[in-house]
């Protein structure tokens, strides 16, 4: 404490010794330093960005809001229940998306969204200022959206009616001009509903259905009549698809069951009714108590059960013996006891009472059943069975053909036992329930197989025709082969005879030449005769080879001629 007093005293002495100019400079420096400290504290403690909500959010609300912000790629900072965004545009976009998704926190009021000032002196001025501020706030909010270029808002607050219990609703008319190439975003029904919710939250007693939004061309965006009709049509189409799917599923079951038995001889038609009502059933059942379970190994039911089980018992016996008391009325008044009862007042009476109480426990079960989106109401199955067609064969195992062009066939109808068995199979396949009103009809109907029969007969005719053509062709080829053999034999015989004539003629000519040579030269007869004989023999051999192998002789002549050249 002494140190502080000394320090203050020294400061006073120094301040007293300074001049006025020095005092002014010192005071200015202190003021500037103090202002810098205050400004530093103010700016460092101020949050950067824009708060999405002024009040802290709960963990559940914060989780829902953050999920929407992440889905729309909006940057944020979360700390201690407060969400901070970068700018006002992100805030407007976030508010719109929260309203569209239905994730707006419950504690947020519409007035907080628009932050409209409430100034005024009189009620009339307050109403006018409220209307102006709301109109301006809504317009500014809509313009902040990235797909909105211009917006015009008109709010109608009806006057209070004091003589009636029904007040006119608050209405809002909004005209929005979309940014270029962003008209589809504005016309999205989900976006329009989000705008309705957003505007209705900022105006007291304004309901979303009384907010009318139009675009710059005059098209009413809040007219959802076509959307409701389209929704009904879409629901009806989906129901028809489900009915068709369930019907085909049942048909496939029946076809898989009967297809292997009656191949191409069964036709199935299914009529299916579905119940689309949501049904909730609550049952309070009193069931018997099972003392012993049924043994499945035995062919009979050996279970034991009882309707109730005794949990407690109480018996009370009351005995009394004494003089009988008969009331005779108030004191001082005439008694009203009949004479016969008055004579019994001095007699002794005996009284005995026994009370027995047994407490039993019942077996109860509570069931709360909620049916699914749809249930099968009724199944009607119609099955048509065809008999069997077989070909008739003779004793040799050959198919009998009538008129030379068609098989002889015999029809075997479906028996009554087969119809009964098929009915049982179909009932098992569809889950037949008589209480549900299911119907199964199995009928014997002779199918039309004439297309298949005509194809078989046409194939028979074609095979017969091919067979006849093959036989005639084989006979023709055989005759042609025999004719060729005969012609070749005739040609060979003619060639042989011509060769013999030529040989004979050649022999005669040789003989004549030899005779002439003998006559001319009689002296060297022996030598000439030997040469003639050798030449004659060679000539005969050449003639014989030329007749027997003319091709080889021709080739030999060609070779000689080539060598001479």
3-state secondary structure string across 267-285: EEEEEEEEECCCCEEEEEE
Q: Packing angle between helix 189-201 and helix 123-144, nearest 10 degrees? A: 150
Strands, E assignment, 111-226: 148-156, 170-178, 206-215
- What residues pair up with 375 in beta bridges, in sequence order? 275
Cα separation values, 237 from 242, 244, 277, 357, 376, Å: 9, 11, 17, 65, 18
Divide the 565 residues of the chain into consecutive groups of 10 and give the mean pLDDT of each group.
66 69 74 77 58 82 87 86 84 77 63 46 66 82 88 84 68 91 87 89 86 90 75 78 84 81 80 74 81 84 82 85 66 67 65 85 78 75 84 79 78 85 85 83 82 81 87 92 90 85 80 75 53 70 72 73 63
Q: 170 near 146, Cβ under 8 Å?
A: no
Close Cβ partners of 189 (under 8 Å, ≥ 6 residues apart): 224, 227
- Residue 270: count of CB within 10 angstroms of its CB: 18
DSSP state at residue 168:
P
CA–CA dist 553, 544 (Å, integer): 11
What 3-state DSSP class applies to 329? Answer: coil
Give pLDDT, residue 164.
57
Residue 561 has phi, psi (to 5 degrees) of -65, -40
Q: What is the pLDDT of residue 166?
A: 59
Q: What is the pLDDT of residue 116?
A: 43
Task: Work out the burial of residue 318: count CB atoms within 10 Å of its CB; fewer than 13 is exposed, 13-18 middle, 19 or more buried.
Answer: exposed
Contacts of 369 (CB under 8 A, 6+ apart): 280, 281, 282, 283
Distance of CA 373 to the CA centre of its chain: 15
pTM score above 0.75? no
Q: How far apart are CA 108 and CA 25, in angstroms?
A: 53
Q: Give 553's Cβ-side CA count (13 Å radius).
A: 10
Query: At a CB cut-off of 8 Å and minimum separation 6, what does 197 contact?
Result: 99, 100, 208
Q: What are phi and psi of 311, to 5 degrees?
A: -110, -25
- Cα–Cα distance measured from residue 52 to residue 83, given in angstroms and rounded to the nearest whole number: 6
- Closest alpha carbon to 406 in 385, 391, 395: 391
């Amino acid at each position: 404490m002494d140190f502080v007093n000394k320090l203050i005293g020294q400061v006073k002495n120094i301040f007293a010794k300074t001049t006025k100019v020095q005092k002014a400079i010192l005071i200015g420096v202190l003021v500037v330093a103090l202002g810098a400290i205050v400004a530093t504290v103010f700016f460092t403690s101020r949050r950067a960005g824009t708060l999405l909500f002024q009040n802290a959010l709960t963990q559940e609300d914060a989780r829902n809001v953050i999920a929407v912000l992440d889905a729309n790629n909006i940057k944020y900072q979360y700390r201690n229940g407060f969400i901070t965004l970068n700018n006002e545009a992100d805030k407007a976009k976030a508010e719109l998306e929260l309203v569209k998704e239905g994730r707006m926190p419950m504690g947020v009021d519409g007035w907080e969204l628009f932050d409209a000032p409430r100034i005024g002196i009189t009620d009339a001025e307050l109403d006018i200022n409220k209307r102006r501020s709301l109109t301006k706030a809504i317009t500014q909010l809509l313009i902040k959206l990235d797909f909105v270029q211009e917006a015009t808002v008109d709010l109608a607050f009806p006057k209070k009616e004091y003589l009636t219990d029904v007040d006119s609703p608050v209405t809002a008319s909004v005209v929005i001009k979309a940014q270029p190439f962003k008209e589809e975003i504005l016309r999205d029904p989900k976006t329009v509903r989000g705008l309705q919710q957003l505007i209705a939250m900022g105006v007291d007693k304004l309901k979303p259905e009384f907010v009318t939004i139009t675009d710059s061309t005059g098209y009413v965006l809040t007219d959802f009549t076509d959307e409701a009709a389209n929704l009904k049509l879409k629901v009806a189409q989906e129901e028809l698809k489900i009915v068709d799917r369930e019907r085909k599923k049942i048909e496939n079951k029946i076809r898989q069951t009967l297809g292997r038995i009656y191949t191409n001889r069964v036709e199935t038609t299914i009529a299916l009714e579905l119940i689309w009502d949501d049904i909730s059933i609550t049952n309070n059942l009193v069931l018997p108590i099972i003392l012993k379970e049924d043994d499945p190994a035995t062919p009979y039911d050996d279970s034991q059960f009882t309707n109730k089980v005794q949990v407690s018992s109480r018996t009370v016996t009351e005995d009394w013996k004494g003089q009988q008391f008969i009331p005779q009325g108030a004191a001082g008044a005439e008694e009203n006891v009949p004479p016969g009862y008055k004579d019994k007042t001095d007699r002794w009476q005996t009284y005995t009472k026994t009370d027995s109480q047994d407490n039993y426990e019942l077996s109860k079960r509570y069931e709360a059943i909620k049916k699914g989106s749809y249930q099968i109401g009724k199944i009607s199955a119609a099955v048509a069975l065809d008999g069997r067609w077989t070909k008739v064969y003779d004793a040799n195992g050959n198919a009998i053909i009538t008129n030379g062009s068609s098989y002889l066939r015999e029809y075997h109808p479906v028996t009554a036992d087969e119809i009964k068995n098929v009915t049982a199979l179909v009932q098992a396949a569809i889950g037949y329930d008589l209480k549900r009103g299911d119907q199964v009809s199995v009928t014997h109907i002779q199918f039309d197989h004439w297309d298949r029969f005509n194809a078989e007969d046409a194939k028979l005719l074609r095979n017969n025709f091919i067979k006849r053509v093959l036989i005639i062709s084989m006979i023709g080829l055989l005759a042609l082969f025999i004719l060729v053999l005969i012609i070749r034999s005739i040609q060979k015989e003619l060639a042989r005879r011509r060769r013999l004539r030529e040989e004979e003629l050649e022999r005669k000519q040789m003989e004549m030449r030899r005779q002439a040579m003998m006559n001319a030269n009689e002296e060297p007869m022996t030598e000439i005769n030997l040469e003639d004989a050798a030449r004659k023999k060679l000539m005969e051999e050449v003639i014989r080879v030329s007749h027997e192998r003319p091709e080889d002789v021709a080739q030999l002549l060609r070779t000689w001629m080539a060598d001479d050249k």
